[in-house]
Amino acid sequence: MSRLVMISNRLPVSVSKDESGSLVFSRSVGGVATGIASLSEPQERLWLGWPGIVSEQLNDQERLEIISHLQHEGCGPVFLNAKEVNEFYDGFSNETIWPLFHYFASRSKFSQEHFETYRHVNQLFCDKIISYLEPGDSIWVHDYQLMLLPRMIREKVPDAHIGFFLHIPFPSFELIRHLPWRVEILEGILGADLVGFHEYDYVRHFLSSVYRITGHDHYLSELTVQDRLVRVDAFPMGIDYKKYSSCGELEEVKAAMRNFHNSEECKLIISIDRLDYTKGILHRLEAFDAFLRENREYIGKVSLIMVAVPSRTNVPEYMALREEIERSVSRINGNFGTINWTPIQYLYCSMAFSELAALYNAADLALITPLRDGMNLVAKEFIACQTGRDKQGVLVLSEMAGAASELGEALIVNPFDRSMLVSAIKEGLEMLEPEKQRRNALMQTRLSRYTVGHWAQDFLRRLGEVIEKQEHSVTRRFSKKYRVNAKGHYDSAEKRLLLFDYDGTLMPFFNRPELACPDQELLDLLKKLVLDVRNEVVIISGRDRATLEGWVGHLPLSMVVEHGGFIRDREGNWQSAISADDNWKNIVRPILELYTDRTPGAFIEEKVYSLVWHYRKSERDLARLRTQEIKNALYTMTSNLNIGVFEGNKIVEVKDISANKGHSVSSWVNREDWGFIFCAGDDYTDEDMFLSLPERAVSCKIGSGPSNADYRLDSPAELREFLRMLTGDE
């Protein structure tokens, strides 16, 4: 594999200064770093990010020392000054994005100045990356601090291989729409080839927001952005399972466990979080208070060890939260505590691995109930530590945590429902040992299989698959160079076949199909083409025969209508290309009528061989829902009939499968020894045409998206430019 370039806000190596002013380098091992370290490939890796110290604290010599040291660690620094850190990280990232994406919209602050700094810092990261980048590198961008970065890299290096992973929740459209810079944020993320989230709810929210805000629709979680395939998928992050499942045998963990002095009669509940308003710590304390009030028999027989890891200690909001938590702890201890027993042991500190593992191994119940969390690895670590224990612990887990989708055997709770939390605590403490073991064994099997190493490997493997798929589906732009080449073949050919779709190809789309009548420019172009005796011009359309006859029937050209149902030669003679009954319409029409009544703006168009449900004027999300409902209803009903259900550009078409543009094209291609063949179309039905063409033909897709065509043009207007070139008008 090529080199892997990791990019995150912070490096896995932090730089600080001690009391003497000397530089201190400390390695922090997080989940991502653990996952990357476990990869066997690629062996060459580079990690770029902020080293944790502001530029004002460094002189030129110290900068060089940091660069040199980090280089030996496989890292490269992006230096930031105090203002940039304050407005980019503390400001926009943590005062705007963090609360909004965790469903605390009222806490979000919308500062244009902070966003400008956020954009500026993302650009600094981009410039640094470009200076390190080598051909063939795979780039993996991490988290909400760098959401603009994928597109910035894409603009500098269009063929870069970019993955992006968001480690926090992605909220629903109703929240994203609050963000003044929502378009730039979404388009920034879509600069990646693969976009990853922890769970499918976040995938669904992201795709919905992209569709509503940027207009990019998706099919099976794949989008086309500027002719580039983008895949969106869920990759639940795992843990170093072996490290936690075997930690109970470590001497330092055993020693830490002996310090608890917990008796058999007193059950131990643990609660471990970073101190943050998203973690639901106050709700948890209120639930524990209610549990003791409602279950007096547990007074003196259950203790809660609550660990709050310091976070953003200088931010007034977090300082106030800490004070409120400590008041609540003091109140509960004062109300229920005795000389021999303290209900809550509250620790405001970071913990060493041995102490954390000891808590996991000693606990009878883990209370992990964030109000919203991207994943929550603490829950997974706790379950892994229950392996091999005679008396296992029970996990009470918030349904708002990403981990809940994987740990369904835990006691899943709504963290806002106090009575539900109280019931879960009681159920967990009283659960019989065989039931605990059964639940934990199922979760452990899952966690042991999908480890953090597997997570990293799976993401990179999928990124490679997306890149490979892009290479197979890429359609070259029909640039001036290719147009001039095609013009040369056109001029030298004695017999030419020109095949055109109509709607979306020769004419742009309109809200009502009858409005797409040809303008004078198109009529003049077609007239010049058909008056050249060397040309055979064929319009191959899904339109009904009467409409096209009325629009262009006065010209000596051929037509194939209703996707091949009827054929007209240049003299104006029509014949039916297929023989089929239309009794199926009596079955399908009532269904389409039902959904038309339920979808304002939708209408039905009837042709000889098809029925078309149009929704171009309907509200997008409602139409999208109705489209899926129609397809689901019709697929089952028509499975034994000779008809197909096809989704096109703002339509669902039900037609006889014998009517196929590809069959029609083949018949025209085989009639003569054509010296030049040109074919243009814009939607799924035209892909059949492109596939039926001989290798020497020139095919062109109008619009974006993967295609079997050789080339791509953006619009009917660009196609007309090329046709004017052929006729000598340009």
Q: What is the CATH number of domain 476-578+659-727?
A: 3.40.50.1000
CB atoms within 10 A of CB 43: 9
Nearest residue to 490 (alpha-carbon basis) of 691, 661, 724: 724
The pLDDT, as a whole number, for residue 535 is: 95
Residues of the chain with CATH 3.30.70.1020: 585-656
Residues of the chain with CATH 3.40.50.2000: 4-234, 241-449
DSSP E strands in 310-447: the ranges are 344-348, 365-368, 394-398, 411-413
Spatial contact of 425 and 291, defined as CB atoms under 8 Å apart: yes
Give the integer Cα–Cα distance in Å for 457 and 454. 5
Task: Calculate what percentage of the chain has a pLDDT beyond 70.
Answer: 95
The pLDDT, as a whole number, for residue 610 is: 80
pLDDT in tens, 266-317: 899 999 999 999 999 999 999 999 999 999 999 999 999 999 999 888 888 8
Hey, what's the torsion of the CAs at 62, 64, 66, 69, to 10 degrees? -130
Task: Calculate what percentage of the chain has a pLDDT beyond 90.
Answer: 66
pLDDT in tens, 131-174: 999 999 999 999 999 999 999 999 999 999 999 999 999 999 99
Give the integer Cα–Cα distance in Å for 323 and 321. 5
The CATH architecture annotation of domain 4-234 reads 3-Layer(aba) Sandwich (3.40)
Report the CATH fold assignment for 241-449. Rossmann fold (3.40.50)
Rg over alpha carbons for the chain, rounded to the nearest Å, is 32
The pLDDT, as a whole number, for residue 606 is: 84
pLDDT band at 473 (very low <50, low <70, confident <90, very high): low
SS3 of 287-341: the string is: HHHHHHHHCHHHCCCEEEEEEEECCCCCCHHHHHHHHHHHHHHHHHHHHHCCCCC
pLDDT band at 342 (very low <50, low <70, confident <90, very high): very high
For the record, the structure tokens of 622 come out as 């409602």
Residues of the chain with CATH 3.40.50.1000: 476-578+659-727
- Between 11 and 653, the more confident residue is 11
Tell me what the pLDDT averaged over the chain comes to: 90
pLDDT in tens, 569-585: 888 998 886 666 677 88
pLDDT in tens, 407-451: 999 999 999 999 999 999 999 999 999 999 999 999 999 999 999
Give the integer Cα–Cα distance in Å for 455 and 239. 9
**CA 76: distance to chain centroid?**
28
Give the integer Cα–Cα distance in Å for 334 and 327. 10
pLDDT in tens, 60-70: 999 999 999 99
> Residue 556 phi/psi, 5° resolution?
-80, 70
Indicate if 501 belongs to the active site: yes
The pLDDT, as a whole number, for residue 122 is: 98
**CA 246: distance to chain centroid?**
35
What letter represents residue 87's amino acid?
A: E
Catalytic residue among 501, 544, 682, 688: 501
Q: What is the mean predicted confidence (pLDDT) over 96-121?
A: 97
pLDDT in tens, 453-470: 999 999 999 999 999 888
**Whether pLDDT at 705 is above 80:** no
Report the CATH fold assignment for 585-656. Alpha-Beta Plaits (3.30.70)
Give the integer Cα–Cα distance in Å for 678 and 699. 6
Spatial contact of 13 and 25, defined as CB atoms under 8 Å apart: yes
CB atoms within 10 A of CB 89: 19
Q: What is the pTM of this model?
A: 0.76
Give the integer Cα–Cα distance in Å for 220 and 209. 16
To 5 degrees, how large is the angle CA 704–CA 706–CA 708? 115
